[in-house]
A and B are shown apart, each in its own frame.
Chain A
Amino acid sequence: MNAIEIKNISKSYGEIKALDNVSFEVKKGELFGLIGPDGAGKTTLFRLLTTLINPDAGSATVDGLDMIKDYRAIRTRVGYMPGRFSLYPDLSVEENLQFFAAIFGATVQQSYHLIEPIYKQIEPFKTRRAGKLSGGMKQKLALSCALIHCPSVLFLDEPTTGVDAVSRSEFWDMLSELKKQGITILVSTPYMDEASRCDRIALINEAKILGIDTPENMVKAFDLPLYGVKAKNMFALLEVARKQPGVLNCYPFGEMHHLVADVSFNAEDMKKALAKVEGFCVEPAVPTIEDMFIKLMKQ
């Protein structure tokens, strides 16, 4: 059985289409990533699936339950960590945890095995008010609270936004641990480099799903020749490279620019043509999720 099934869901706010005919499934026990920029519709999808709002069209089930008919039952089974910090700043760490447990009719002891690896890191500060915690500690407390009733499906809306690269990677380690406990996780992120931490991903932009697959297959589907180009003056190189024959696109990509070519492109010809450009070099490059995202956005 699928943990989440979304069928042709659409949602608008006035003139603005937040979700346009979105369909996909998340399998039980899957760590599924929803990857896209701000304004893509990620938060709307989370609010729909956690039964906080209703769709204009389409239907969805969570844990086999209908999002409209069975909304009360869904709420007892899902854990939700919204993008914005939503705990009680005036309650202490411990009080927040106990409060959320009480609401769900659970006890901290019941779920302690689940939250222990995360909660242990903030336990030394359990008497501190939640509002006085640092960003990283707030995030760990929010995740602990979302797990307090041992949910079968966990919804995490941009848990790593604004978090540095090292803390982000630690957060994903925590998610991998939770996955081992059998929890289905739907997590959204604007960071493309986090895609590889998911079992499957959906790329989302401007209310539409651009593609769904495993991160490996997503990258394999990039079917155009891709090169990395470099020169002393990287900014000037962009303009020059874009004018070369067979070049479809050229954009900054860290240390090198990525150059998307068509079949007529010949790297040797480009080397000859740009022999005068100081430090010029061109070599085949391996596509990433971000290259795929750019390609799909352009289509």
Chain B
Amino acid sequence: MSEIVISVRELTKKFGRFTAVDNISFDVKKGEIFGFLGANGAGKTTAMRMLCGLSFPTSGTGSVAGFDVMKQAEEIKSHIGYMSQRFSLYNDLTIWENMMLFAGIYGMSKKESEERALWLLDRLQFMSEKDTVVGSLPLGCKQKLSFVIATIHRPEVIFLDEPTGGVDPITRRQFWELIYEEAASGTTIFVTTHYMDEAEYCSRVSIMVDGKIEALDTPQALKKQFGAASMDEVFRTLARSAKRGD
């Protein structure tokens, strides 16, 4: 029996009379790459914010890395990694300084931070660029760097919000190899994307429509269920059934 890292039951978020997230339930296992798909406005961002401890549910329950989304938002924040679709490292700091800053924010000791940073630099083969100012790096490097910095405190779960938007096709694939590698080492990956080929790389995929999870399974099983040749087709079939606009 695999360990469950994210568990959500009947999670709901209302803004006034609008139900952004409507009674969703699912589990994510340790080491899974969980694709969280949905059309614009389906409720993905709202759901993700609740899982990251940034917003309280209106009703329902959930736990992330063993902490309660209602009562332990701060503990959740320190046990997860998050990479936003907007580049959020400090452009005026060097790679090394960014790493030390984020490690410090997560309360890591100097020795621990330095060891971890050296290991990550080695993994990215960025060792020689360690003192380069981040702002001068090519976009692809920045994305990869953002990813490893999101893992600096060895979080149990990493949330990736459209991590590959606008990235060139080679870097996009190198990025997914980093994700594969991280998941293989036991980290759970929770990822949103608009690239449907990337949905195929996930262990399991959920598709949200109008605040509800309308489908959840392995890409293979979803394609079978909807009689579709690709995840793109599955997504189109489901997203077209949406009633509310974005």
Q: Do A39 and B139 form a contact, CB below 8 Å, given A164-B194, A254-B197? A: yes
Given A162-B85, A164-B39, A165-B194, answer yes or no on A37-B246 (Cβ-Cβ < 8 Å).
no
Q: In the bound complex, how far is the Cα of B194 from the Cα of A161, in angstroms?
A: 9
Q: What separation, in Å, do the CA atoms of A294 and B171 have in the docked complex?
A: 10
Residue of A nearest to B184 (CB): A235
A2 CB within 8 Å of chain B: no
Question: Which of the segments B3-11, B59-67, B231-239 contacts the partner chain?
Answer: B231-239
Q: How far is the CA of A13 from the CA of B138 in the complex (A)?
A: 15
In the complex, the answer to whether A163 meets B194 with C-beta atoms within 8 Å is yes
B107 at the interface (CB under 8 A from A): no
Q: State whether B184 touches A162 (Cβ < 8 A).
A: no
Contacting chain A: which of B17-25, B115-123, B147-155, B159-167? B159-167
- A166 CB within 8 Å of chain B: yes
* Cα distance A168–B41 in the bound complex, in angstroms: 14
B168 CB to closest chain A CB (Å) equals 4
CA distance A58 to B239 in the complex (A): 46
Q: How far is the CB of A169 from chain B (nearest CB, A)?
A: 8
**B172: nearest chain-A partner, CB-CB:** A37
**B contact residues around A168 at 8 Å (CB):** 194
CB A72 to nearest CB in B, in angstroms, measures 33
State A165–B235 Cα separation when bound (angstroms): 8
Of all chain B residues, the one with the shortest Cβ separation from A257 is: B173
Contact with B along A126-142 (1 / 0, CB 8 A): 00000000111100000
Kindly list chain B residues whose C-beta atoms are within 8 Å of the C-beta of A297.
168-170
Q: For the complex, give the distance between the alpha carbons of A297 and B172 in Å.
A: 13
Contact assessment for B40 and A136 in the assembled complex, using a CB-CB cutoff below 8 Å: yes
Are B40 and A134 within 8 A (Cβ)? yes
Chain A: CB-nearest residue to B181? A235
Interface presence of A293 (CB below 8 A)? yes
* CB <8 Å contact, B139 and A38: yes
Residues of B within 8 A of A191 (CB): 195
Residues 209-241 of A, flagged 1 when their CB comes within 8 A of B and 0 if not, give 000000000000000000000000011001000
Out of B166, B168, B177, name the residue touching A205 (CB < 8 Å).
B168
Closest A-chain residue to B33, C-beta based? A235
> In the complex, A221→B40 CA distance in Å?
36
List residues 261-299 of chain A with CB under 8 A from any CB of chain B.
Answer: 290, 293-294, 297-298
* B170 and A137 within 8 A (CB): no
Chain B positions 187 through 217: 1 when the CB is less than 8 Å from some CB of chain A, otherwise 0: 0000000111100110000000000000000
In the complex, what residues of B have CB within 8 A of residue A39's CB? 138-139
Please name the residue on chain B nearest to A190 by beta carbon. Answer: B166
User: Which chain B residues in 218-245 approach chain A with CB under 8 Å?
Assistant: 219, 230-232, 235-236, 239-240, 245
A192: CB under 8 A from chain B?
yes
Q: Is the CB of A136 within 8 A of B169?
A: no
CA distance A294 to B235 in the complex (A): 26
Assign chain A's interface to a size class.
35 or more
List chain A residues, Cβ under 8 A from B39. Answer: 164, 166-167
Q: How far is the CB of B123 from chain A (nearest CB, A)?
A: 15
Q: Is B56 an interface residue (CB 8 A)?
A: no
A29 at the interface (CB under 8 A from B): no
Whether, in the assembled complex, A41 has its beta carbon less than 8 Å from a beta carbon of chain B, the answer is no
Chain A residue numbers with a CB within 8 Å of B181 are 235
- Contact across chains for B40 and A37 when beta carbons are under 8 A apart: no
**For the complex, what is the distance from the CA of A239 to the CA of B171, rounded to whole Å?**
17
Complex interface: chain B residues within 8 A of A162 (CB):
40, 85, 162, 165, 194
From 125 to 177 in chain A, residues with beta carbon under 8 angstroms from any chain B beta carbon are 134-137, 158, 161-169
Is A290 in contact with B231, judged by CB distance below 8 angstroms? no
Asked if B96 CB lies within 8 Å of chain A CBs, one says no
Q: Which of A136, A163, A254 is within 8 Å of B231, CB to CB?
A: A254
Most chain A Cβ neighbours within 10 Å, of B40, B165, B169, B176: B169
Cβ of B180 under 8 Å from chain A: yes
B-side contacts of A205, CB under 8 Å: 168
Q: How far is the CA of A292 from the CA of B232 in the complex (A)?
A: 21
A15: nearest chain-B partner, CB-CB: B136
Q: How far is the CB of A192 from chain B (nearest CB, A)?
A: 7
Is the Cβ of A166 less than 8 Å from the Cβ of B239?
Answer: yes
Quick check: B169 and A252 within 8 Å, CB to CB? no
Closest to A39 in B: B139
- What is the chain B residue whose CB lies nearest that of A166? B239
Q: Is A33 an interface residue (CB 8 A)?
A: no
CB<8 Å pairs between A and B, sample of 22: A36-B168, A38-B166, A40-B168, A134-B41, A162-B40, A162-B194, A164-B39, A164-B246, A165-B194, A165-B236, A166-B239, A167-B246, A190-B167, A205-B168, A235-B177, A252-B173, A252-B201, A254-B196, A290-B169, A293-B168, A294-B170, A298-B170
Residues on A close to B: CB < 8 A? 36-40, 134-137, 158, 161-169, 190-192, 205, 234-235, 238, 251-255, 290, 293-294, 297-298
Beyond known contacts A134-B41, A298-B170: 16 more, CB 8 A cutoff = A37-B139, A37-B167, A39-B138, A136-B245, A137-B246, A158-B166, A162-B165, A163-B40, A164-B40, A164-B239, A165-B239, A166-B239, A166-B240, A234-B180, A294-B170, A297-B168
